[in-house]
Amino acid sequence: MIIYIIAIIVMIIIGVTAFFIGKKLQTKKILGKSNENKLIIENTNSKAEEIINNAKKEAERIKLETVKQSSIQVKTRMVEEREKFERGTSQKRNELNNLEKRVIQKEDNLNKKSNVIEKRILDIKDKERRLKASQEALKERQAELNEAEAAEIRSLEGIANLSADDAKAQLIELMEKEAQYDFASKLQKFEENYEKEAKLKAIDIVSSSIEKLAVDYICENTISSVELPNDEMKGRLIGREGRNIRTFENLLGVDLIIDDTPEVVTVSSFLPVRREIASRVLKKLIADGRIHPKRIEEIAEKVKKDVNEEIIKTGEETVYEFGFNDIHPELVKLIGKLKFRTSYGQNGLHHSKEVAYISRYIAKELGMSPSNAVRAGLLHDIGKAIDREQEGNHQQLGADIAKRYGENPIIVNAILAHHHDVPFESTEAVIVQVADAISASRPGARRETYEFYIKRINTLEAIANSFIGVEKSFAIQAGRELRVIVNSQEISDDEAAILSRNITKKIEDEGKYPGTIKVIVVREVRVTGIAK
């Protein structure tokens, strides 16, 4: 078809070209020799017609050939498509046959499985039927056993004159006692082993720490009395109409006690820094000999300045000694004030430094970074620098001050918890508490008043006497040991171990004491025979 169209186009082009050529030649002939060229024009026209006819014939021939070729191509394409369709149809037919075979096979398998399931269902039903029969038989057997057991219990109750509930209660009580005795025995062995191992480990850590801590142990007393060269000096201190002593007391905020004690004057004040300043002023006045209000004011002003400078210098030296350069200046000043603060005769600054050193070595023994432990140890009693000036215990005051001046929460908790007021939140807090106990409870570190000592002894004995079976108790070794005498008829050996533990726990919960207290329970059995 395409070739046919091309032939027609070629024929048209040839005809148009011949027409224009003839037209052109005709025009030329008219302009030149019109008469002479008529034959040429006619010949040209005849040639053009001949060319057109030939082109038509050629187009017809090409058309026929094109039609024949197109027909052959169409037939060839139809044959190819038919073969392709037959091949595809054959493949689909094969796939359908295979699918049909698989479906038939699956149906067979399902039929087999269905038969197996039906058989199993029948087996299960048969088993259920037999199980129900067995359960019925068991119920009958259980009823027979219950009846026999009830008859046996009635028989035993008649023989023993004891009901089942009473027998059960006695059995439970007997088992509880046996379990309690076994528990007490095992607990005692466990405590002995645990205490032995813990004691060895604690001794190793503490001894290693103390071994590295080489400081002087000094028990200090607050300076509260000043010696006079003679009794005449008392009158000069009082002054005319008491003007000197009034000026002294009003200016320094202390009480000057001038009694009948020969050649001694006592300075009384709850504030250690004021008491220290007053004592120094009094010594300077006695040494100078000029005692009058103006002179008292001059010396007092100078001594106050010196003491304040000494406080700051002491605080800075202490902080420098431990390598802390980021402590707030107000905290540094309070550290310096601890130099003039004592607790049961133990100097506050020396105690804080000692706790810091012990905390450092314990932390190192435990493989920890000692920085926070040392810092908390140094600041743990910082509240004692102001506890005589503000309300509250020194733990709470110290924690508030440390928090106010930006100390780490670990340090704040260690200060607040070193007397067990709040739970420990870090290992550093535990280390500081242990170091504080070591420093405060070592022999000679502190002294206590007679009234406090008697009160502590009576408290320990009262705690022991509050338990059933205790006949007497004695606090010995300055309250470091408690001997408890028990009634051997009421307390067994195993119960003695439990009693010792209970007394220890109650002392820990209710008592306040430095160091440790050993509780010893004594149970003695005496058998007396008289031969006649």
Q: What is the pLDDT of residues 44-64, one digit of tens each?
A: 667 767 777 777 777 777 777
Q: What is the pLDDT of residue 216?
A: 45
Six-digit token pair at 65?
């050939």
Residue with tokens 């709040």: 422
User: CA-to-CA distance for 383 and 289, rounded, in angstroms?
Assistant: 39
Q: For residue 463, give the CATH number of its domain.
A: 3.30.300.30
How does residue 302 score in pLDDT terms, banded at 50, 70 and 90? very high
- Percent of the chain scoring above 70 in pLDDT: 74
Quick check: is 204 in a domain? no
Q: What is the pLDDT of residue 219?
A: 40
Quick check: is 492 in a domain? yes
Residue burial 299-335, b: 16+ Cβ < 10 Å; e: rest = bbeebbeebeeebbebbbebbeebebeebeeebbbbb
- DSSP letters along 433-499, please? HHHHHHHHHSTTS----HHHHHHHHHHHHHHHHTSTTEEEEEEETTTTEEEEEE-TTT--HHHHHHH
Q: What is the pLDDT of residue 404?
A: 92
- Percent of the chain scoring above 90 in pLDDT: 5
* Position 130 pLDDT exceeds 50: yes
* Position 446 pLDDT exceeds 80: no
The reply to whether the predicted model has a pTM over 0.85 is: no
Strand partners, 472: 485
Q: Are residues 370 and 261 in the same domain?
A: yes
More confident residue, 367 or 208: 367
**What is the average per-residue pLDDT within 249-254?**
86
Q: For residue 360, give the CATH number of its domain.
A: 1.10.3210
Range from 181-195, 394-408, 492-506 carrying the lowest mean pLDDT:
181-195
Q: Are residues 127 and 235 in the same domain?
A: no
Q: What is the mean pLDDT of the chain?
A: 78
At which of 123, 146, 169 does a domain end? 146
**What is the average per-residue pLDDT within 398-420?**
89
Q: What is the pLDDT of residue 451?
A: 62
Six-digit token pair at 480?
């470091």
**What is the average per-residue pLDDT within 517-523?**
88
Q: What is the pLDDT of residue 45?
A: 63
What would the 3-class secondary structure string for 272-300 be?
HHHHHHHHHHHHHHHHHCCCCHHHHHHHH
More confident residue, 522 or 186: 522
Q: What is the pLDDT of residue 375?
A: 92
Range from 73-87, 300-314, 417-431, 472-486 carrying the lowest mean pLDDT:
73-87
* Position 3 pLDDT exceeds 60: no
Q: What is the pLDDT of residue 392?
A: 79
Quick check: is 163 in a domain? no
Quick check: is 207 in a domain? no
* Position 411 pLDDT exceeds 80: yes
Q: Are residues 418 and 463 in the same domain?
A: no
* Position 68 pLDDT exceeds 80: no
More confident residue, 212 or 527: 527
Q: Residue 94 is part of which domain span?
A: 2-146
Range from 28-37, 110-119, 242-251, 410-419 carrying the lowest mean pLDDT:
28-37
Q: Are residues 331 and 234 in the same domain?
A: yes
Residue with tokens 């008289």: 530
Question: How many distinct structural domains can be found in the chain?
Answer: 3
Q: Are residues 78 and 26 in the same domain?
A: yes
Range from 20-29, 143-152, 226-235 carrying the lowest mean pLDDT:
20-29
Q: What is the pLDDT of residue 128?
A: 87
Six-digit token pair at 452?
């406090």
* Position 41 pLDDT exceeds 60: no
Q: Are residues 142 and 16 in the same domain?
A: yes
* Position 142 pLDDT exceeds 80: yes
* Position 312 pLDDT exceeds 60: yes
Instruction: Return the ∠ at Cα 456 (arms to 486 and 495), rounded to 5°.
Output: 20
* Position 183 pLDDT exceeds 80: no
Range from 94-108, 130-144, 214-228, 469-483 carrying the lowest mean pLDDT:
214-228
DSSP 326: -
Quick check: is 296 in a domain? yes
